[in-house]
Amino acid sequence: MANTESLEYLNQARVFIGTEQYDDALEYINKAIAVDKLNKELYVQKSIILANLDQYSEAIEELKNALKIDKTYAEAYFHLGNLCLMTGEQASGLESYNKAIANGFDDSQIFFNLGLMYEEDGNDELAIRNYTKAILKDPLRVDARVRKAKIFISNGKQQEALETLDELILADPDLYDGYHLKALLLADMGDLDGAATVLDEAIRLFPKDPSFQIDKVNIYVIREEASKARELVKLIDRYLLFS
């Protein structure tokens, strides 16, 4: 009976989480814990609620409560790693992530988070490695592909960046970043025709987005095709005027 009752309270809490009514969610998760104190999932849910209330220390304590019940609870280590990073405890965050992975947590998000952490530290090699792992776990992680491409670009690894951007466009043909970054990269590599071709394709796919038209103006300027640049600027101004 207690488990059924706690499940009802948990479901109520989740409804309130979904509507961002975290005080109400906290009330119901406390009721769930009161009737099912050994349910480790409830403490993770309470931690998530507390984190959304900016009560990070309390949220960390709830995760520790979950780990007292099950020292191998990978999801608790994952959330603990998130909170440690949010509170500036990077070493503890990394340790928690490693424990989560060691206990079988392999969701792409953990590798993406590690990529962000290493990127912020300036460790581009480990950032790339973890973004790659995130992509392997979820090929549709375009955010990891974008960050990976930008690191390659910033390190002058143009061919690696180009390959990553091609994969990005294949993974999400509707994403602005892929075409924009690829056009800029090709232009930087001196392939202005290639850059223009990428932008023409983007303009065909996104006719209402002036950003690609603006990028193409830059290509005309680099080519010293001033008249084409001026005509395109007039078209952009006209579009913006009536949009």
**pLDDT, tens digit, for every residue of 155-177?**
999 999 999 999 999 999 999 99
pTM (predicted TM-score): 0.87
Name the band, by pLDDT with cuts 50, 70 and 90, for residue 242.
Answer: low
Which burial class, exposed, middle or buried, applies to 47 when counting CB atoms under 10 A from its CB (0-12, 13-18, 19+)? buried
DSSP structural state of residue 37: T
What average pLDDT does this structure show over 64-92? 96
DSSP string, 142-199: HHHHHHHHHHHHHTT-HHHHHHHHHHHHHH-TT-HHHHHHHHHHHHHTT-HHHHHHHH
- Token output for 238: 């006209």
**Measured CA distances, 17 to 41, 42, 64, 151, 167 (Å):** 15, 13, 21, 36, 36
